Amino acid sequence: MKFSQYITKVQYPPITEVKSWLAGTPPQAGRPLVDLCQAVPDYAPAPELVAHLHGLLDDPLTSRYSPDEGLPEAHVAASAWYARRYGAGPGTDEICLTIGASQAFWLAMVTLCQAGDEVIVQLPAYFDHPMALQSLGIHCVWAPFDAAAAGQPDVAAIAARITPRTRAILLVTPSNPTGAVTPPETLQQLYSLAREHDIALVVDETYNAFLPNGAPPHALFAEPDWQRHFVQIASFGKTFALTGYRAGALVAGPDFIHQALKVQDSMVVCAPRITQQAVRFGCERLDAWVAANSVMMQRRHDRFRELFDAPGNLFQLVASGGFFAWVRHPWPQLTGRQAARRLVEQASLLCLPGEVFGPGLDGYLRLAFGNIHEDDIPSAVQRFVEISQA
């Protein structure tokens, strides 16, 4: 059997690869595994949300299809949530509810691009994005990672990479994998750049509910013609601790959504009704719960950063925020995979190697500290100190 010429060049799913290492790694006595591999909230959904969903299970309508783009009542709730969160936001016809942010990204890319087109991708890149682009035969044009700038995008460097084949500029904020937040003024500059070249600025804002001080992420939705050049990828799964429900959204202009629904219908038809009802409930009633979790996650971040910078730790913290830390490992002779395997085998620490986030990043590791309890952070950091001194 022959496979697509594109798919065979795509890397294997990094989290699946890294977790497979555990099968050949005997557990260490008295030292349980600390999983810093995947960013999943360690807390359950709000009890009132769980109760609400339980009450919907007996309704036969809950088990049926919805419109391709999602339930109208869920759109109304999400639109109002955006208006509160951003000060301005999409209308109800500018939202398509999807099976997670990953499916929203696929919808965006197949609507914008065809094989041979180019997308400028900021390094380090969330690995699912280049994997999807490469699967489609779309070329990733890498915007370089600058450690001195903690990975912040360089607008001039991105502008220099635009060619007649460029269809979009892609970045993630808060960043996965670095946790760094792109300043609103930088996003505004990138939007202006996209508008100047008549391309799209595609921003994955999966972690937009976890910004410091609850600040609005940007003012792009207030632009009078944002629909012409801005596409947002969203995840209510992180916001409402519904990662297993796969609660995402594609936010774009009505014309864009109209075209994307052709793919939506042929790909999945619609997101599950139970997930859409969870999004509706969360958007309508859980602002205070979300804000409290954001404060908690910021407290975890601050605690992690304080401890990680302690004397004796040879792992260098390059950038951090929200759920993630991006660190340089202290073994220049090792690749990121080799360094990550050493951490598994010698310290029972599971994390992702830097090279899965793009070329030239072998010296780094991604730590997803957001999925461990605050009380466990000191002992986790101590393992980095101990192995760096071994």
pTM of the model: 0.95
Residue 30 has pLDDT above 80, yes or no: no
> Comparing C-alpha atoms, which of 190, 148, 156 is closest to residue 172?
190
The set of residues, in sequence order, having a beta carbon less than 8 Å from that of 390 and lying 6+ positions away, is 346
pLDDT band at 25 (very low <50, low <70, confident <90, very high): confident
The set of residues, in sequence order, having a beta carbon less than 8 Å from that of 54 and lying 6+ positions away, is none
**How large is the C-alpha radius of gyration of the chain?**
21
- Note the pLDDT of residue 72: 97
Q: Report the mean per-residue pLDDT for the chain.
A: 94
User: What mean pLDDT comes out for the span 350-365?
Assistant: 97
User: What mean pLDDT comes out for the span 109-137?
Assistant: 97
What percent of the chain is predicted at pLDDT more than 90? 88
Residue 131 has pLDDT above 80, yes or no: yes
> Comparing C-alpha atoms, which of 251, 197, 258 is closest to residue 226?
251
User: What mean pLDDT comes out for the span 373-378?
Assistant: 90
> Comparing C-alpha atoms, which of 296, 276, 278, 275 is closest to residue 286?
278
Name which residue leads in pLDDT, 128 or 323. 128
pLDDT band at 29 (very low <50, low <70, confident <90, very high): low
Domains of the chain, earliest start first: 7-44+289-389 (3.90.1150.10), 47-286 (3.40.640.10)
User: What mean pLDDT comes out for the span 283-305?
Assistant: 94
Spatial distance between the Cα atoms of 298 and 212, rounded to a whole number of angstroms: 7
- Note the pLDDT of residue 359: 97
Name which residue leads in pLDDT, 215 or 60. 60
- Note the pLDDT of residue 374: 87
- Note the pLDDT of residue 24: 73
Residue 100 has pLDDT above 90, yes or no: yes
Spatial distance between the Cα atoms of 110 and 117, rounded to a whole number of angstroms: 11
3-state DSSP call for residue 267? Answer: helix
**What tens digit of pLDDT does each residue of 210-226 get?**
998 777 899 999 999 99
Residue 39 has pLDDT above 70, yes or no: yes
- Note the pLDDT of residue 322: 82
Task: Return contacts of 353-356, CB within 8 angstroms, 24+ apart.
Answer: 353/14, 353/18, 354/124, 354/326, 356/11, 356/14, 356/127
Spatial distance between the Cα atoms of 338 and 255, rounded to a whole number of angstroms: 47
The edge-to-edge listing of strands for the beta sheet with 352-353 is 316-321, 324-328, 364-367, 352-353
